[in-house]
């Protein structure tokens, strides 16, 4: 089989350790296990996304993977993740955080539940447009539909036009499809430019979002841990027993080695009230000696530990100072 193939032979730091997820003991700092991780897929890989044709997820998939993939659209994120476990898709591409609204917690939980790994990331700029049926004038529009997150990112637009009624939909591009399916001239949709091109709608207003610096981070997921050439960013998840200083000690393993953390996210552990999983992204590869030392150190003070992915960092969006 050919297509998207990732292969690597590396020194394994460990994936799942201890706790409620595994009874595998943590490796010692001297343990070195040579493994090869590969993903072999069909001639035209299948990539699952949430959304209709023309959605931001589809745009991200095409930008990241090109047009030599088959994109499978689903209505709900649960279906996207299930398509991997049911072997209907080789990969899935999901949004994990937005620069304005923060983390998409549901996808963090699904990532953990389905045991998928991050192989790539992409930052996509989100530009919202007001789209209507061909020939419709703005004055005719009474209702605007879109995904709830998209509507919340356009609050200033609705303050400018208070007579417009907001109505939530399951998807930005799906809202454009809805007005075409029903032929509603008094309803417009908020979606990306690609949605207007796919369905043939007219853009009545461009860039109606509140903030121009609106980016969504997408991650490409598969069942196997990969370490492609040029990988320089790593994602992990861990938890620890609730004792004083536990979080400080866990994060200090990175500070002591000058490893730059780019994100920290906590999620509650189901069935263990007031205990949390900590998701951490940092710059560095699992091939780096400093990273291996940090992760070996971290495993000594945590009861759950897993490497979620090691992949090339998308540095297209630079951080700006406050």
Stretch among 37-51, 104-118, 142-156 having the lowest mean pLDDT: 37-51
Return the pLDDT at 16: 39
Q: How confident is the model at residue 164 (pLDDT cuts 50, 70, 90)?
A: very high
Helix or strand (DSSP H, E) at 225: none
Report yes or no: 100 and 211 within 8 Å, Cβ to Cβ. yes
Instruction: Tell me what the mean pLDDT of segment 169-177 comes to.
Output: 94
Return the pLDDT at 242: 82
152 phi and psi angles, rounded to 5 deg:
-70, -25
Q: How far apart are CA 301 and CA 293, in angstroms?
A: 13
Q: What is the pLDDT of residues 203-214, one digit of tens each?
A: 999 999 999 999
Stretch among 38-47, 151-160, 229-238, 257-266 having the lowest mean pLDDT: 38-47
The answer to whether 6-125+215-311 and 129-205 have equal CATH topology is yes
Return the pLDDT at 193: 96
Sign (positive or negative) of CA dihedral 131, 136, 140, 142: negative
**pLDDT greater than 50 at residue 272:** yes
Instruction: Tell me what the mean pLDDT of segment 132-155 comes to.
Output: 96
Q: What is the mean pLDDT of the chain?
A: 86
Q: What is the pLDDT of residues 75-99, one digit of tens each?
A: 999 999 999 999 999 999 999 999 9
Catalytic residue, chosen from 56, 218, 278, 305, is 218
Higher pLDDT, 137 or 226: 137
Instruction: Tell me what the mean pLDDT of segment 6-13 comes to.
Output: 33
The CATH architecture annotation of domain 6-125+215-311 reads 3-Layer(aba) Sandwich (3.40)
Q: How confident is the model at residue 320 (pLDDT cuts 50, 70, 90)?
A: low
| 44 C-beta neighbours (distance < 10 Å), count | 13
Structure tokens at 318: 């630079």
| C-alpha atoms less than 13 angstroms from C-alpha of 77 in its C-beta half-sphere | 16
Structure tokens at 197: 């091109």
Sequence ranges of the domains in the chain: 6-125+215-311, 129-205
Structure tokens at 148: 């709830």
Per DSSP, what are the bridge partners of residue 144? Answer: 166, 188
| 12 C-beta neighbours (distance < 10 Å), count | 17
What's the per-residue H, E or C state across 3-26?
A: CCCEEEEEECCCCCECCCCCCCCC
Strands 233-239 and 276-283: antiparallel
Q: The domain 129-205: what is its CATH number?
A: 3.40.190.10
Return the pLDDT at 315: 87
| 272 C-beta neighbours (distance < 10 Å), count | 13
Report yes or no: 122 and 171 within 8 Å, Cβ to Cβ. no
Structure tokens at 162: 């208070």
Structure tokens at 322: 């406050």
Q: How far apart are CA 225 and CA 215, in angstroms?
A: 26
**pLDDT greater than 90 at residue 25:** no
Is 218 an annotated catalytic residue?
Answer: yes
Is 278 an annotated catalytic residue?
Answer: no
Catalytic residue, chosen from 216, 226, 234, 302, is 216
Instruction: Tell me what the mean pLDDT of segment 160-170 comes to.
Output: 95
- DSSP letters of 97-166? EETTTEE-HHHHHHHHHTT-EEEEEEEEE---EEEESTT--GGG--EEEE-HHHHHTTHHHHHHSTTPEE
Return the pLDDT at 30: 31
């Amino acid at each position: 089989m050919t297509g998207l193939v990732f292969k690597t032979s590396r020194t394994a730091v460990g994936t799942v350790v201890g706790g409620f997820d595994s009874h595998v003991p943590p490796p010692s700092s001297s343990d070195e296990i040579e493994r090869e991780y590969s993903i072999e897929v069909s001639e035209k890989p299948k990539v699952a996304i949430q959304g209709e044709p023309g959605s931001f997820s589809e745009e991200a998939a095409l930008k990241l993977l090109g047009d030599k993939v088959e994109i499978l659209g689903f209505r709900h994120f649960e279906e996207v993740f299930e398509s991997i476990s049911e072997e209907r898709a080789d990969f899935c591409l999901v949004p994990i955080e937005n620069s304005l609204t923060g983390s998409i917690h549901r996808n963090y939980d699904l990532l953990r539940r389905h045991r998928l790994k991050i192989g790539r990331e992409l930052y996509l700029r989100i530009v919202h447009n007001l789209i209507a049926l061909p020939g419709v004038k703005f004055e005719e529009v009474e209702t605007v539909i879109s995904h709830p997150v998209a509507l919340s990112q356009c609050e200033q637009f609705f303050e400018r036009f208070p007579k417009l009624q907001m109505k939530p939909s399951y998807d930005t591009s799906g809202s454009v499809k809805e007005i075409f399916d029903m032929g509603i001239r008094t309803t417009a949709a908020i979606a990306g430019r690609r949605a207007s091109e796919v369905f043939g709608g007219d853009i009545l207003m461009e860039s109606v979002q509140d903030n121009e610096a609106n980016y969504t981070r997408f991650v490409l997921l598969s069942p196997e841990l990969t370490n492609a050439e040029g990988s320089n960013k790593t994602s992990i998840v861990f938890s620890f027993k609730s004792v004083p200083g536990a979080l400080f000690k866990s994060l200090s393993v990175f500070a002591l080695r000058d490893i730059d953390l780019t994100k920290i996210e906590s999620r509650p552990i189901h069935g263990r009230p007031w205990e949390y999983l900590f998701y951490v992204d940092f710059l560095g590869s699992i091939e780096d000696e400093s990273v291996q030392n940090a992760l070996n150190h971290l495993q000594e003070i945590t009861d759950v530990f897993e490497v979620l992915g090691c992949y090339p960092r998308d540095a297209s969006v630079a951080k700006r100072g406050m």
